[in-house]
Amino acid sequence: MNDPYVTSVAQLKKIAEILKLPADVVERLSVHDKFLEVHFPVTMDNGAVRMFTGYRAQHSNARGPYKGGIRFSPFVNQSEIRALSMWMTWKCSIADIPFGGGKGGVIVDTKQCSSAELEGISRAYIRAIHAIVGPDKDVPAPDMYTTPEMMGWMADEYAKIVGEYTPAMITAKPIEKGGIEGRTEATGLGGFYVLQNLAERERLDPKQTKVAVQGIGNVGYYIARYAHDAGYRVIAIADSRHAIKNDQGIDIDTAVEFKKSHGSFEGMPGATVISNNELLALPVDVLIPAATENVITSENAETIRAKYILEMANGPVTDEADAVLEREGVVVIPDVLANSGGVTVSYFEWYQNMHREQWTKEKTFSELKKKIDSAFDAIYSYKKENSVSFRMAAYAVGVSKVVEALKNNS
């Protein structure tokens, strides 16, 4: 089993060689400024008091307050949280937003909890970590199995503790609690902007470009829909149980509506049911893993026939698989660029809250496109000039800006 934190440090060391970073800088960035483990009680619906374990990792605030999601999952662990917080540092730097990397999590199976229990866990968790978060310290957001509603509960609980409602302490809140228009679409739309930049630079004709999307949750749905609407041939999509394909293209909204009414994609007219593994191996131009981490591994990397992989999930390609894909000439656009739309719009929400503004969806999308276009240009140029992979170029651009900030702060 891959250790995510070990992987993140190994990636940093590879970048350090490219950038010729001093050993003391590498050592500093290999560890976290702070890592907090908390244990807190919650009264469950049956009256029993249950103890929960949570974490908050703060990797580096050289460029600004820590920023990163909170995930609720039975599989949350220290290594994962540490790795994700480090990757958030690079992601914020790549997106050129004034944040550093943070990440949090609680070990809990949300499927086994009622809404009231989830509210209790959310409030108890923020009470446990409140001293190290805040608009100028650390700004959380939702992540796996957490929602805007939960962020609203956390914002309310934080207000009770500090004595006033402080919307900028957390992002991706409901609109009525200080959220921003367009946050729901942000990650998928940002990925679509990356796809558009890729198509322009690599001279891909959307009408001739076949796309497969694994994962049709919020992120996968929006990038699939935007790609379909822009003329790309989205020939396959998948949920956690089934994948479907149609070589002529799939109408995304029709497919999603069918799934809603029938419970799955199985039996959808004009589409062939295939497995998730078969979807990953389709001969497409662009493969978009938008579900979970570690879906492309050393075991299936050689079956990949896509020309490009756009990582919309966090860490869908393992380090070992990455080496195989690079050897085979598959171009991987890394998650730190591809799915940075979410954190970018979270920054816009924080900025909006700090300045008591309310942005329109049009402004949010326009500003997001500027950020994504600029980040893509910088990474693509670095890749070409230094003959390195997209991933190494992205990390080099991100790490170098953090190192520069460390120098300026010392």
**Do 171 and 146 contact (CB within 8 A), yes or no?**
no
- What phi, psi does 289 have (nearest 5°)? -75, 115
Alpha-carbon distances of 322 from 2, 18, 30, 193, rounded to whole Å: 13, 18, 21, 23
**Do 193 and 224 contact (CB within 8 A), yes or no?**
no
Distance CA 217, CA 267 (A): 20
User: Reduced to 3 states, what is the DSSP secondary structure of residue 112?
Assistant: helix
Neighbours of 131 (CB within 10 A): 10
Four-CA torsion 253, 258, 259, 262, nearest 10 degrees: 170
Active site residue 407: no
Residue labelled with tokens 């070992």:
320
Structure tokens at 281: 């191996």
**Percentages of the chain per state (helix, strand, coil), in multiples of 5:** 50, 20, 30
Active-site residue identified among 67, 103, 245, 371: 103
Which residue numbers are catalytic? Answer: 103
